[in-house]
Amino acid sequence: MKTTICNSLLLSFIFLFIGCANDNTTVNTTGTDSELPVLPVITLNNYYADIVNQVSQEELNNTLQIYELFGNKQTGSNQLEQVQAWIENTYTDLGYTDVKIHSFPFENTSSNNIVITKKGTKFPDTYVILDAHYDAVFKGTNDNGSGTAILLELAKLFKDIDTEYSLKFIHFSGEENGLIGSNAYVTQEVIPNNMDIRLVFNIDQVGGAVGKNNVLVCEKGTANPGIVKQASEAFTLALAEAAKLYSSVKTEIGNAERSDYIPFENNGEIITGIYEKNGDSNPTYHLETDLLENMDLPFFTEVTKATAGAMLHFTGAEEKVF
Ligand SMILES: [Zn+2]
């Protein structure tokens, strides 16, 4: 009986923390290896807004042009290796020092995920992961040059910002072949190292279709019960709120499916993601016409701003004191 009382007291505390989550305490949940993160409370932060407003449509356009020029990007191709080198160089040129390759077997050869880590100030062993696949069915400027370009844009914005939580940018390969790269990463890195992950935020095909009234779907994880599901929903609602505060993009809430967050979700992690609405019915979906000229660049720029705003909150970006 004593145990029961203690447990219900603990549960009350946990729900108290969910209800008024505005500090950085983490609470261990009983019976699982997961921790309930403090959920972000999204209110407009003018310092964050100044950073978000540095997002440049021109630069995004340039990045997408470069990505497109590499040609077709199937996993295992020479072109994809060249894209990999370009992504690595972009980070090292920005001054990132922890740029690692994670190799995994693919058919008779191997392919590479690219993992960039930036240490947090307060919780250096707890990670917010922002990921996007960089392989494609053909040239794939929308699917998934769009996700690739957002990571590179945020890498630039976050370079000189301290964050409370550690941040990992991960560019996955093998997504179009069945989430092979992300599955390998979870199996070979996350599980053996018992990696403490606050959130996985996946970006896949968010460039929109030219001439359409494009809408962004914020995707919550639904596979895990209890606290993980609750936290995933809360982060996803926070993401939609950040989109409203830091961009003009229209959002809807949907369910996560068929992209690189799924192996993490299967491992019990808290996930969220973004995907353009009607992505599968985009006339260029998985075709040779998936090109920059068929994307909605102003929409994509606003999506990038929404992502930047949300990530500043999710990582606990610290305001610089001058
Ligand atoms: Zn994709």
Q: How far is the CA of 41 from the centre of ligand 1 (A)?
A: 29
Q: Which CATH superfamily is domain 41-314 in?
A: Zn peptidases (3.40.630.10)
* Domains of the chain by residue range: 41-314
Q: How far is the CA of 112 from the centre of ligand 1 (A)?
A: 16
CA 5 to chain centre: 39
67 pLDDT tier (thresholds 50, 70, 90): very high
70 pLDDT tier (thresholds 50, 70, 90): very high
Q: How far is the CA of 166 from the centre of ligand 1 (A)?
A: 25
What does the pLDDT average to over 97-111? Answer: 97
Q: How far is the CA of 243 from the centre of ligand 1 (A)?
A: 21
322 pLDDT tier (thresholds 50, 70, 90): low
Buried b (16+ CB within 10 A) or exposed e, 281-319: ebebbeeeebbbebbbbebbbbbbbbbbbbbbbbbbbee
What's residue 35's pLDDT? 60
Q: How far is the CA of 139 from the centre of ligand 1 (A)?
A: 12
The DSSP 8-state label assigned to residue 319 in this structure reads P
34 pLDDT tier (thresholds 50, 70, 90): low
Q: What is the DSSP string of 6-58?
A: HHHHHHHHHHHHHHT--S---EEPTTSS-EEPPPPP----HHHHHHHTT--HH
pTM score, two decimals?
A: 0.89
Q: How far is the CA of 175 from the centre of ligand 1 (A)?
A: 7
What's residue 281's pLDDT? 83
Q: How far is the CA of 127 from the centre of ligand 1 (A)?
A: 23
- Judge residue 23's burial from the number of C-beta atoms within 10 Å of its C-beta, 0-12 exposed, 13-18 middle, 19 or more buried: exposed
Q: How far apart are the first and last CA of the chain?
A: 56
Rounded Cα gap, residues 182 and 267, in angstroms: 12
Task: Tally Cβ neighbours within 10 Å of residue 133.
Answer: 29
pLDDT tens per residue across span 234-269:
999 999 999 999 999 999 999 999 999 999 999 999
What's residue 243's pLDDT? 98
Q: How far is the CA of 285 from the centre of ligand 1 (A)?
A: 9
Amino acid identity at 268 = G
What's residue 29's pLDDT? 35
Residue 11 has pLDDT above 60, yes or no: no
Q: How far is the CA of 287 from the centre of ligand 1 (A)?
A: 12
Q: How far is the CA of 45 from the centre of ligand 1 (A)?
A: 31
Look over the chain and give the mean of its residue pLDDT values, rounded to a whole number: 90
